[in-house]
């Protein structure tokens, strides 16, 4: 125990000293410590007040939180069977501990007593928010239930924690085990040399001749975009779209049904009509009806545009290749060809200008110009994999702002997608301020034997997106860890990330990093103009696609799922109003929809579009004053990035913008209404 680095004082996560078998004893010790802290608060003989009850609760369990953040990021970014088995063991213990807090009657009575005195306490806005948040957390999660229902709530939460982990393990294993093994040169027709080289390297890593295409995004997406062999595109599309849907040991259908039904049972137990009603009570949208009204209002505007775009694509495919029936596996291929024809723009032409290292430098420079921070590489920080890059973030005076970790490439132990996480929150306690440790994890194109890592433009925007989340964490300036950084409403959390994507389309920002990796040539004004002109290309189709995911999420969580027995049939009904392509019985999205069945977006997938309204409106403010205007950037940092969840998000937004957000900027940017200034 004395040699366990997790149980020694540490600041930066001690990745270099960690062994998997150290986690369980560390969790056991940290759980015991956290329980003792909670018991001390609950049994405090002093009358309850804000400091000894509410603030004390928020600071409690600090070591446990840090160990958890390290462990569960490893389970996402560098996992193995041993870690996955341990996660199945640890998660129910953490769920039990969480329930022990919220279902502790004596503790709740102390919280309630402070809450009932709130009008006379003269709390600052941040403390008042924390008090309300703590009281609502107890009241919303079972503190008012009788003992029988509390027992049932514990059972549901424990089962849900296991099911979500298993769901994610199945998706990861499906992704890792599938391969499209090609041995004929003609099967590579249309593929750029960089993808051929990457596929050849993948085959070599698996001791195979020829080329291997996988379901990892940097392999799957370019193949669907460039491969001329329609049969192979179909094969890969069906493999990607059927993860967790094969009737084998990795099938997720029963897990999906169990998760949806348990969430509904939990919501009903707590007095809510549905899981969405429970979740949305603490979101800007407030109710399932408001979410559906929002999604439907966008669908009405986007669907006509999407149908026009699809008809154009069908006509193009028929004119080009005589294709009579456009299928989903044709969409990316013909869209790319049409985009090249209309805008003379090809990702393969752009990629040499987006060397990963240069894009990283560029996003750092953008952040520096906006917020006065700089990023200093620090190779002394321990990492969990040799590819992870580490930086010290400092302000203009050299004061530490944050530690920043970045992990960019796919590996067998890393789940798909891109995300931001935190190893340590920012907060103040007494005279001490703790600065945050923030990480972004992505799955970008790897370097090859002949080229450095060159990003597609989509990968560039993804990097800026995740970096926006990171800024939200790094620039936090709050007193309490429970309100710091990204601890905000989930339909507000995407504002800092999505607004950063806008700089990828600005000539002034692109000039900072878009340089040819061989010649050093700056991305030409002509190519920049083409990027901007193509920004709305098939935006109707893209919008309808995103809306369909929101409708599917609400179909699972916005009502009573107890009568659902067929996952595919239920999904088909949810997609009916947004379907653009023929449906295929061999595919099912729900069984690999990790955002809502493994991650935290259940009843919240709509928030991507919700936040687009905010980000378009907010960026219009930047555009009016200059995209690097220090006053607007200062307002965004002060009222949005630094404040976390300390106040109602709409109040924070109005403080930044001077008014509530308007949808006009989004509709104009998406090309769904004529742009009028």
In sequence order, the β-bridge partners of residue 366 are none
| Alpha carbons 194 and 376: distance in angstroms, whole number | 31
Q: What three-state secondary structure class fits 179?
A: coil
- Give the closest residue to 459 by CA, choosing from 360, 389, 371, 527: 360
What b/e sequence results for 124-141 when a residue is b if at least 16 CB atoms lie within 10 Å of its CB, and e otherwise? eebbbbbbebbbebbbbb
Cβ atoms of 30 and 67 within 8 Å: the answer is yes
Instruction: Give me the helices (H) in 576-677, please.
Output: 594-597, 607-625, 630-636, 649-657, 664-669
Task: Considering only CA atoms, give the Rg of the chain.
Answer: 25
- Write down the residue that tokens 């409708």 correspond to: 551
Please list the residues that pair with 375 across neighbouring strands: 393
At residue 423, φ and ψ (nearest 5 deg) are: -95, -15
122 tagged catalytic: no
Kindly report the CA angle at 145 between 141 and 150, in degrees rounded to 5?
Answer: 75
Alpha helices in 502-538 (DSSP H): 507-510, 525-533
Cβ-defined contacts of 18-27 (< 8 Å, 24+)? 18/70, 18/384, 20/80, 20/82, 20/83, 20/86, 23/67, 23/71, 23/86, 23/90, 24/86, 24/89, 24/90, 25/1, 26/67, 27/64, 27/67, 27/68, 27/71, 27/90, 27/93, 27/94
Long-range CB contacts (< 8 A, 24+ apart) of 112-117? 112/138, 113/47, 113/48, 114/48, 114/49, 114/50, 114/53, 114/54
Contact (CB, 8 A) for 466 and 420? yes
Among the listed residues 466, 501, 571, 612, the single catalytic one is: 466
CA angle 11, 15, 16 (to 5 degrees): 115
State the Cα–Cα distance between residues 190 and 174, nearest whole angstrom: 27
8 Å CB contact between 476 and 642: yes
Sequence-distant (6+) residues with CB within 8 A of 156 are 262, 265, 266, 269
Number of residues assigned to the chain:
677
d(C-alpha 442, C-alpha 420), whole Å: 9
Q: Is 449 exposed, middle or buried (0-12, 13-18, 19+ CB in 10 A)?
A: exposed
Active site members:
466
């Amino acid at each position: 125990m004395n040699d366990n680095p997790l149980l020694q004082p540490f600041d930066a996560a001690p990745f270099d000293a960690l062994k998997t078998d150290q986690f369980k004893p560390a969790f056991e010790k940290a759980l015991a410590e956290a329980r003792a802290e909670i018991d001390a608060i609950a049994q405090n003989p002093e009358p309850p007040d804000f400091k000894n009850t509410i603030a004390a609760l928020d600071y409690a369990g600090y070591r446990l939180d840090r160990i958890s953040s390290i462990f569960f990021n490893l389970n996402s970014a560098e996992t193995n069977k041993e870690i996955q088995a341990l996660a199945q063991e640890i998660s129910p213990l953490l769920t039990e501990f969480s329930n022990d807090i919220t279902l502790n009657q004596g503790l709740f009575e102390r919280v309630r007593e402070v809450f009932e005195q709130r009008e006379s306490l003269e709390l600052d806005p941040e403390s008042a928010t924390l008090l309300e948040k703590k009281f609502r957390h107890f009241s919303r999660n079972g503190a008012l239930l009788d003992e029988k229902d509390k027992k049932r709530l514990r059972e549901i939460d424990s089962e849900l924690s296991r099911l979500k982990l298993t769901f994610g393990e199945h998706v990861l294993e499906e992704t890792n085990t599938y391969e499209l093994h090609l041995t004929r040169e003609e099967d590579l027709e249309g593929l750029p040399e960089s993808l051929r080289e990457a596929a050849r390297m993948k085959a070599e890593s698996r001791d195979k001749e020829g080329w291997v295409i996988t379901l990892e995004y940097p392999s799957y997406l370019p193949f669907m975009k460039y491969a001329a062999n329609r049969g192979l595109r179909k094969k890969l599309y069906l493999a990607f779209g059927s993860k967790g849907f094969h009737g084998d040991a990795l099938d997720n259908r029963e897990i999906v049904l169990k998760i949806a039904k348990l969430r509904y049972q939990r919501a009903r137990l707590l007095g809510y009509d549905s899981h969405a009603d429970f979740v949305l009570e603490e979101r800007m949208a407030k109710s399932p009806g408001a979410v559906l009204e929002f999604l439907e209002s966008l669908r009405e505007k986007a669907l006509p545009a999407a149908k026009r775009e699809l008809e154009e694509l069908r006509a193009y495919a028929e004119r080009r290749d005589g294709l009579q029936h456009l299928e989903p596996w044709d969409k990316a291929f013909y869209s790319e060809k049409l985009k090249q024809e209309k805008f003379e723009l090809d990702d393969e032409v752009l990629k040499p200008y987006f060397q990963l290292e240069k894009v990283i430098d560029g996003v750092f420079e953008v952040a520096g110009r906006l917020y006065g921070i700089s990023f200093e590489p620090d190779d002394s920080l321990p990492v969990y994999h040799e590819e992870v890059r580490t930086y010290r973030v400092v302000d203009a005076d050299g004061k530490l702002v944050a530690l920043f970790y970045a992990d960019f490439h796919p590996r067998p132990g890393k789940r798909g997608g891109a995300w931001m996480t935190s190893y340590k929150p920012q907060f103040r306690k007494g005279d001490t301020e703790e600065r945050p440790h923030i990480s972004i994890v992505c799955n970008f194109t790897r370097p090859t034997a002949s080229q450095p890592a060159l990003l597609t433009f989509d990968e560039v925007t993804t990097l800026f997106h995740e970096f926006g989340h990171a800024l939200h964490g790094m620039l936090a300036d709050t007193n309490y860890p429970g309100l710091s950084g990204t601890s905000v409403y989930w339909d507000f959390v995407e504002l800092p990330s999505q607004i950063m994507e806008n700089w990828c389309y600005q000539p002034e920002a692109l000039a900072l990093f878009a340089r040819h990796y061989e010649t050093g040539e700056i991305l030409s004004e002509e190519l920049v103009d083409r990027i901007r002109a193509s920004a709305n290309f098939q935006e109707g189709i893209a919008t309808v696609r995103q809306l369909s995911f929101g409708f599917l999420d609400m179909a699972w969580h916005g009502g009573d799922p107890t009568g659902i027995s067929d996952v595919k049939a239920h999904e088909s009904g949810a997609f009916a109003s947004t379907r653009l392509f023929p449906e295929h019985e061999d595919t099912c999205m729900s069984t690999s929809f990790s955002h809502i069945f493994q991650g935290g977006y259940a009843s919240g997938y709509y928030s991507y579009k919700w936040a687009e309204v905010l980000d378009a409106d907010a960026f219009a403010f930047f555009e009016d004053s200059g995209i690097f205007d220090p006053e607007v950037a200062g307002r965004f940092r002060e009222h949005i990035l630094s404040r976390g969840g300390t106040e109602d998000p709409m109040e924070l937004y109005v403080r930044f913008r001077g008014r509530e957000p308007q949808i006009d900027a989004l509709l104009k940017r998406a090309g769904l209404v004529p742009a009028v200034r």
